[in-house]
Amino acid sequence: MRRALQLAALGDGRTSPNPLVGAVVLDAGGRLVGEGFHARAGGPHAEVGALAQAGDRARGGTLVVTLEPCCHQGRTPPCSAAVIAAGIRRVVLAMADPHPLVAGGGIARLRAAGLEVIEGVAEDEARRLNRPFLHRVASGRPLGVLKWAMSLDGRTALPNGASQWISGQAARGWVHRLRARCDAVIVGGGTLRSDDPLLTSRGLRHSEPLRVVLSRSLDLPPQARLWSHEAPTLLAHGPGIPAQKHALLEQLAARGVTIAALPACEPAALMEELARRGCNRVLWECGPELATAALRQGCIQQLAAVIAPKLLGGLPAGTPLGDLGLEQVSEGRPWSHGLLSRIGDDLVWELSAPAEPRG
């Protein structure tokens, strides 16, 4: 199972809306005869790859797989049928697939065909691996990661607005790798106006994450680099387009930007839109106002703070977040430690949300 989990992780950032899945086939004598993983949505499932590699040697053998084999015809045929057809005797699973089209149906089908099914092996690890997929299936929203870079005194900009570069080159490279693991990268109009960012993984992700601009005013620079750079781009706005903005939207649509009208120009509505578009994990790289709204609407499950060993100061200078409405320090409950890394001169601290829902 450890090997199957390693294989599954190889697909990270490329399988959405599907989960990460890894599979290993052992022959009747317990020898490893096949390995597979789900490498991209629409591509073969992990079980199919592993069974194909094993061929006849799968007969009477064991399939070890990180997620329940599917039982529905999607872009590929149901895996449970393929497992049965290959003559597998025993299936060892990390966890059932909570997706409503599966949800135990694959396991039932295997058992009905007389196969032994062992569930729950390394389930915690498998759940951690597929946290974004599981979060989307459970909540209808992608998992949200909020990233910011700040100085050691908690500043994201100088009083004059200057913000490039607070973190070092190595940490900026780490952010590109983080983007490569996300299905979308979100900013607001303010960040677009002030930073003119590209928001790509710089080629680290095979198809770049969807760049998303959430804008209420649609007061957006027509010459932003985002619009012309070749990567998928979505402009999301609320109901009611100001009359003088129709021309801009037409112009951007003509340049390949997807325009999405949300029922409300709010983070929560955007999350539901992005879940419909197949996003499991999205990265918020926005300014304090939008970040605060996203937090307050429960759209952030993980934090990644890049902390540079510099002092910027300045009472009117930028800080990562706006008002959270707290009255007591004790209301700011601790986030859970994930990973702490020194990247170049900078610290990167990754954390997960407190167990109970926030705000």
Catalytic residue among 47, 68, 273, 350: 47
Please, which residue, 59 or 337, has the CB nearer to a second copy? 337
**Interatomic CA distance for residues 132 and 166, integer angstroms:** 29
DSSP assignment of 266-306: SHHHHHHHHHHTT-SEEEE---HHHHHHHHHTT---EEEEE
Residue 228 Cα distances to 72, 222, 272, angstroms: 40, 10, 26
Cis bond leading into 165, ω under 30°?
A: yes
Please, which residue, 54 or 317, has the CB nearer to a second copy? 317
Q: How far is the CB of 107 from a second copy (least distance, A)?
A: 38
Q: How far is the CB of 179 from a second copy (least distance, A)?
A: 21
Residue 7 Cα distances to 32, 91, 129, 243, 330, angstroms: 14, 17, 11, 52, 42
Q: How far is the CB of 165 from a second copy (least distance, A)?
A: 6
Query: Closest Cα partner for 255 from 218, 237, 228?
Result: 228
Q: How far is the CB of 285 from a second copy (least distance, A)?
A: 15
Please, which residue, 133 or 335, has the CB nearer to a second copy? 335
Please, which residue, 107 or 317, has the CB nearer to a second copy? 317
Say which residue the tokens 């949505």 belong to.
41
Q: How far is the CB of 311 from a second copy (least distance, A)?
A: 6
Q: Give the interface with a second copy as residue ranges (CB under 8 A).
A: 150-155, 158-160, 162-166, 168, 288, 292, 295, 303, 305, 307-315, 317, 319-330, 332-337, 340, 342, 345, 347, 349, 351
Q: Is 47 a catalytic residue?
A: yes
The DSSP bridge pattern shows strands 302-308 and 336-343 to be: unpaired
**Interatomic CA distance for residues 42 and 359, integer angstroms:** 38
Exposed e or buried b per residue across 307-345, where buried means at least 16 C-beta atoms within 10 angstroms of its C-beta: bbebebeeeebbebeeeeeeeeeeeeeebeeeeeeebbe
**Interatomic CA distance for residues 129 and 116, integer angstroms:** 25
Please, which residue, 125 or 153, has the CB nearer to a second copy? 153
Residues identified as active-site: 47
